[in-house]
Chain A
Amino acid sequence: MTHSGHIRDRVRELLAAHDPGSTDRLEFLRARFDAGLAWVHYPVGLGGLAAPRELQQVVDAELDEAGAPDNDPLRIGIGLGMAAPTILTYGTEEQKSRFLRPLWTGEEVWCQLFSEPGAGSDLAALGTRAVRDGDDWVVTGQKVWTSSAHTARWAILLARTDPDLPKHQGITYFVCDMTAPGVEVRPLRQITGEAEFNEVFLTDVRIPDAHRLGAVGEGWKVARTTLMNERVAIGGAAIPREGGMIGIVADTWRQHPELRTPELHARLVKLWARAEALRLTGVRLRQQLAAGAPGPEGSGMKLAFARLAQDISGFEVELMGEAGLRYDDWTLCRPDQVDFTGRGPGYRYLRAKGNSIEGGTSEILRNIIAERVLGLPSEPRSDTGPWKDLPR
């Protein structure tokens, strides 16, 4: 069932039955999902074949070569990277079969209603309330910095169901319909000029109990699955040498001898070496995963990625000389996808600032490494009492 020859046969069958040249894009994606070739490590019937994760590369390469459409992953990153693994781990059978297929094909975009004005790094302090009312929950509160809320059909949502318990215990995890009455999405402009994220106001939004993920009060445990996958998604993609930002800067360097100075040269080569070292670290990490021995190295990838992206993009603006004084476009727009390396150097520089904030700040990631990997003691805490009594 799991070897690559068998997988190749499945791909050929799919292509024979649905010629990518003449098949509608969505129809092809649905057929691919139904053939188990969406994410091969998922269970049979849910877009997968229960095969080893690394065989996905075989599928992707074959389909790419055949000119098959992809599911536009930059547009549906939160669904693919965060909602899907959480639904797979904690969802009921009904939830899995309802949500995963349109999530993967991109018919339904997902967003993440976690952060609040008063609860960012300290996410477990969140105050959005969910109160039980018959078969429904009634949700009221405010979320912020919600990427793709303006394109999303569904959200993963954390809300407080019991304010009398300590903060980690009274949280429940829901799937929220972004088209439901009481959901209001307002663009929130970021330093790049665009509004990639939003403020989301929830006023008496009714969520059926059937859209709860995991048990009542177990939301924090469920959220940990989401957050772990988020960090892997931000820092973990496989790229060739000079893939990503460093390749853009290296090309600029090669094409513009007039920009060169010895000092910039020394810094560029240092950045190149760091980028290549981080790329090899990712290769090594995936080899460890494939060998069935995941190391703790994964927790560091996002931290290293953020620092490198910021250093490279900062360097690039300096390298550009006069062109570095300019910006491509400040017009407020609401993009439907996130591409860290898209647009010009000024945009890359500004967007990279978010890399050390989104998905857990670099300071929080250092805490996690220090405590979970190195085993160092945690800070003394003052937030262990009931949530309702915490200072805020």
Chain B
Amino acid sequence: MNLLYSEIEEDLRASVRAVLTDHCPPSAVLARLESDSPCDMDLWRILVELGVTGLHVPEDRGGQGASLRETAVVMEELGRFVAPVPFLGSTVLATTALLACDSDLVGSLASGTTTGALAVPLTAAPGSPFPATVSASADGLLTGRVTSVVDARAASLLVVPVAGPALYAVRADAPGVTVTEVVSLDMTRRIADVSLASTPGVVIASGDQATAAVEAALRAGAGLLASEQVGIAETCLEQTVRHVKDRHQFGRAIGSFQAIKHRLADLWLELVCARATARHAADALTRQADDADVAVALAQSECADLAVHAAEEAVQLHGGIGMTWEHPAHLSLKRAKVNQLALGTPGEHRMTLGHMVHLLMDIPSRR
């Protein structure tokens, strides 16, 4: 078990952070909020060139041959900047599903020539039943609807779970595909409802392999989301510390008031503990450890609420300015709050966790 960041991971972090500092300042994210192009595809192309979309894909399948640990570091940085790019939907969820399917398509996602999305509701948790809202006709045409799919609008390739179970690859521009963006609480990572009406697709897995592929994607997604949550919390804490040192009221920096110092000390401590769980999850997923499921559930249990707490403290301790649209604090708050629901709520993860570590309630659990 290695819970530290390696030198290579720190180098990767530095390059991603440099790109995001130049190309993803809060002003740019704010400016894009109500535009019709929610994803920053220029930024996405720069990140693709850095190679971050193929980190956890083996070289012989068109990737960088690194691991989910490195991908998790990228998630931390993207979380810090609340970057509007389809990394979660394409690089984490769709790519991990394709990796588990021996599909050639994974290479194009890894190289960034294609952007993908996994057609499951963003609230789907690891361990939940295989989604079956889409069905295939006898001649292989797909019909059905999947709500709340993350990063769907940016995707040209949809990876669709189909009753059976099976997993299909569907081109977003295929006949009968409608992607309807909804008004999202997190405007920097939007969701969309996807409908298919007699849409042609290609089977990429069926039976147990399809189930395992979706489960692997949800598990990796939840595990890596913890790293994003750590990134969000870290930046909220840093910005808030900077603000309270700077802002004076009653003739003193507000950061010299103990009521504020103690809240920030507590937040820092929560962050310290949550980071250990996020690293543990990324490490366990990479090693395919026996207790990877425990590690993921634990990380979500701790990191999801931490990020919300950090973002809420950031708004509160910035006072009126924290409530102001032009200030970026609400970007982190919205991302953190949506993440709390994404890929299983902390409560759902704790239910699963209790079951896995044999702390049973007399009610049947999902696992």
Contact = CB atoms under 8 A, between A and B. Distances in A.
A133 interface: no
Contacts of B261: 366-367, 370-371, 374, 376
Contacts, number: 123
Interface residues of A, number: 43
A89 interface: no
A291 to B, nearest CB: 6
B138 interface: no
B256 A379 contact: yes
Given A375-B245, A379-B258, A280 B3 contact: yes
A236 to B, nearest CB: 13
Interface residues on chain B, size class: 35 or more
B349 to A, nearest CB: 9
Interface in A262-278: 262, 265-266, 268-270, 272-274, 276-278
Nearest to B238: A374
Interface in B106-151: none
Contact of B264 (A274, A283, A297, A370): A370
Interface string A366-382: 11011101111111100
B351 interface: yes
The majority secondary structure among interface residues of chain A is helix
Nearest to B2: A287
A326 interface: no
Contact of B265 (A253, A257, A366): A366
A284 B269 CA distance: 14
A283 B255 contact: no
A300 B269 contact: yes
A225 interface: no
Interface in B237-287: 241, 244-245, 252-253, 255-256, 258, 260-262, 264-266, 268-269, 272-277, 279-280
A369 B347 contact: no
Nearest to B354: A269
B300 to A, nearest CB: 10
Nearest to A367: B261
Contacts of A278: 273
Contact of B276 (A266, A270, A284, A380): A284
Contacts of A265: 354, 359, 361
Given A250-B359, A272-B357, A283-B3, A376 B256 contact: yes
B350 A366 contact: no
A280 B265 contact: no
A304 interface: yes
B273 A374 contact: no
A268 B358 CA distance: 12
A283 B265 contact: no
A361 B255 CA distance: 21
Contact of B353 (A254, A272, A291, A369): A272
B230 to A, nearest CB: 12
A276 B253 CA distance: 37
The 7 closest A-B pairs by CB, nearest first: A370-B261, A366-B265, A284-B3, A369-B265, A269-B354, A377-B256, A280-B276
